[in-house]
């Protein structure tokens, strides 16, 4: 198979972890007789510095003409610490999601047997956890009208959803549930928010089309609590943009490190694959960042193309590295800590 992949390294540790994923992908391509053409492009703070905006038109052209996007991370402290900044790296991410139609963020949370005792939660609470969040990505409060009034003394952010936006996300949730345990949880705040009531009634109306799927409805605050009590009681969860943003970060640390969790952002055509961690600017250039989430994101990319053996080979190499202690400092726990590039080299050699 010939694959054209847009490569958006971004900011902070993004370039370092992306480099390791490319190493692994190139070995996979050789092993399974594929041809990958990498198309590097600028985004985030790096793009602002180069051309003045975080998602340039040239980057968009490269992305939309590719089969998939492999993405690192964006963000820089100089923007985070400046509330008056008019142009921000994160604006590029929102623009890219909207422009590419990436409306469904797929965020798995699973545990590794060798790391159960590194989780902030007790082993007996997390053992067997294997859940997936589908977060709506291009609507809601992040994209609604926002501004100031009363001379800047009052601020507002509007949360708006259409039934169509809910339906297309829920459809992916139902379809995913059918491939797993046929359990789906719709997360909302329908006792307070009108948008949540729209979510709930829309999903309820879709239940008849998927009679084998058992659907539950839970308020977001209850889910936040239960994620730290019994995360293994969930399977597939669907929710809106803001709730999903918060809950998936909460779920991400269950495994023991944010540096382990991959994600995908999907639409009708192209998919974007990225680690769930941020740009981690404090670690930039120190060769200490964990590249495994990015490598596992590449596994999700192959699987999205239907190349499941390729994804399985990458996952097996990651599990072997964890079992043998070939890990960066976030997982070393007093043992030997390998550098980012060393872990990448080891994974590539063991695929």
Q: Is 249 a catalytic residue?
A: yes
Active-site pick, 23, 161, 189, 280: 189
Tokens 């809601």, located at residue: 140
Q: Is 188 a catalytic residue?
A: no
Say if residues 142 and 241 touch (Cβ distance below 8 Å). yes
DSSP 182: S
Where does residue 13 fall: left (phi above 0), alpha (psi -120 to 50 degrees), or beta otherwise? alpha
Active-site pick, 23, 67, 142, 188: 142
Q: Is 142 a catalytic residue?
A: yes
DSSP string across 95-162: HHHHHHT--EEEEEEE--GGGGGGSSS-HHHHTT-EEEEEEE-SSGGGTS-EEEETTTTEEEE-----
Per-residue 3-state assignment (H helix, E strand, C coil) for 234-289: CCEEEECHHHHHHHHHHHHHHHCCHHHCEEEEECCCCEEEEECCCCCHHHCCCCCC
Q: 217 in helix, strand or coil?
A: strand
Q: 83-111: string of b/e by CB count within 10 Å (b at 16+)? A: eeeeebbbbbbbbbbbebbbbbbbbbbbb
Active-site pick, 49, 157, 221, 269: 221
DSSP 37: E
Where does residue 84 fall: left (phi above 0), alpha (psi -120 to 50 degrees), or beta otherwise? alpha
CA distances from 309 to 72, 179, 303, 306, 318 (A): 24, 17, 8, 9, 14
Where does residue 67 fall: left (phi above 0), alpha (psi -120 to 50 degrees), or beta otherwise? alpha
Active-site pick, 26, 235, 245, 345: 245
Q: Which residues are catalytic?
A: 142, 189, 221, 245, 249
């Amino acid at each position: 198979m010939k694959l054209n992949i847009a490569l958006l390294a971004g900011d902070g540790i993004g370039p370092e972890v992306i480099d390791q994923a490319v190493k692994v992908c190139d070995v996979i391509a050789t092993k399974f007789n594929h041809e990958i053409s990498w198309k590097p492009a600028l985004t985030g703070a790096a793009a602002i510095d180069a051309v003045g905006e975080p998602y340039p038109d040239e980057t968009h052209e490269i992305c939309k003409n590719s089969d998939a996007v492999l993405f690192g991370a964006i963000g820089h402290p100089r923007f985070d610490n400046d509330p008056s900044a008019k142009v921000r790296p994160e604006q590029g991410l929102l623009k890219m999601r909207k422009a590419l139609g990436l409306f469904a963020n797929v965020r798995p949370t699973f545990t590794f047997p060798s790391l159960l005792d590194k989780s902030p939660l007790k082993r007996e609470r997390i053992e067997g956890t294997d859940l997936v969040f589908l977060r709506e990505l291009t609507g809601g409060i992040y994209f609604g009208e926002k501004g100031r009034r009363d001379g800047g003394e009052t601020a507002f952010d509007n949360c708006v959803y259409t039934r169509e936006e809910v339906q297309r996300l829920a459809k992916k949730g139902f379809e995913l549930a059918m491939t797993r345990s046929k359990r789906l949880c719709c997360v909302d705040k329908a006792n307070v928010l009108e948008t949540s009531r729209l979510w709930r009634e829309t999903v309820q109306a879709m239940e008849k089309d998927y009679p084998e799927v058992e659907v539950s409805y839970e308020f977001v605050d209850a889910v936040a609590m239960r994620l730290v009590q019994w995360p293994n009681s969930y399977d597939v969860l669907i929710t809106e943009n803001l709730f999903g943003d918060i809950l998936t970060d909460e779920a991400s640390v269950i495994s023991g490190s944010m540096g382990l969790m991959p994600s995908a952002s999907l639409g009708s055509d192209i998919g974007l694959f990225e680690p769930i961690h941020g740009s981690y600017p404090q670690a930039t250039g120190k060769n200490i960042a964990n590249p495994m989430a990015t490598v596992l994101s590449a596994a999700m990319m192959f699987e999205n193309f239907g190349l499941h053996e390729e994804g399985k080979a990458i996952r097996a190499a990651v599990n072997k590295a964890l079992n043998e202690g070939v890990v960066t400092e976030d997982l070393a726990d007093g043992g030997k800590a390998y550098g980012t590039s060393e872990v990448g080299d080891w994974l590539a050699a063991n695929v």
